[in-house]
């Protein structure tokens, strides 16, 4: 029994980000093929949400890395409690996160992303009463394409959200090649 718990703990440590308690990039590489195959097999939508904490470097520079870590932990907590049990949340890198929304079309993904954006904006992560943390979002739905293409489209949408004022949700549109 002890060996089983130890194995489970080691596996959990290998696929979870210690700071945010979300899945890490290793887990993403393991879970993506399964989720994509399931969506295709059952002809169900699969949406991708990429989000990035706005001005995160400034948070670290102004308040220190402990506050930066608190922002990351709190964002992870928000993603865990404001998504469904079947949704998968990842720390994608640095201050960037990804949420996979199985059986969710782009319209519903937009609603989820907006809810997450509002939760991050309204949470009090910073010591200053006047400063608040916000996040920018890029979302897309997997279409008849490679997984990486959908992620790139969400990334372009995230970039557009940042370029157009931050703290917003932008949809990455699919362009079918003729």
Estimate to the nearest angstrom the gap between the alpha carbon of 130 and the chain centroid: 26
Estimate to the nearest angstrom the gap between the alpha carbon of 3 and the chain centroid: 33
Maximal CA-CA distance, the chain: 57
Cα 156–170–172 angle (5° rounding)? 50
pTM: 0.91
Establish whether 95 is a catalytic residue.
yes
pLDDT in tens, the chain (178 residues): 556 554 455 455 689 999 999 999 999 999 999 999 999 999 999 999 999 999 999 999 999 999 999 999 999 999 999 999 999 999 999 999 999 999 999 999 999 999 999 999 999 999 988 889 999 999 999 998 889 999 999 999 999 999 999 999 999 987 665 5
- Catalytic one of 35, 95, 114, 121: 95
């Amino acid at each position: 029994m002890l060996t089983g718990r130890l194995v489970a703990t080691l596996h959990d440590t290998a696929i979870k980000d210690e700071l945010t308690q979300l899945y890490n990039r290793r887990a993403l590489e393991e879970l993506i093929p399964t989720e994509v195959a399931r969506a295709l097999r059952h002809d169900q939508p699969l949406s991708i949400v990429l989000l990035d904490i706005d001005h995160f470097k400034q948070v670290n520079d102004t308040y220190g890395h402990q506050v930066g870590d608190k922002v990351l932990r709190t964002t992870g907590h928000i993603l865990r409690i404001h998504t469904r049990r079947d949704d998968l949340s990842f720390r994608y890198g640095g201050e960037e996160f990804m949420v996979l929304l199985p059986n969710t079309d782009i319209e519903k993904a937009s609603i989820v992303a907006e809810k997450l954006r509002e939760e991050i904006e309204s949470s009090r992560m910073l010591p200053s009463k006047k400063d608040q943390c916000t996040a920018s979002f890029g979302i897309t739905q997997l279409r008849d394409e490679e997984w990486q293409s959908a992620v790139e489209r969400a990334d372009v949408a995230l970039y557009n959200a940042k370029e157009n004022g931050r703290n917003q949700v932008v949809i990455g549109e699919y362009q079918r090649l003729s």
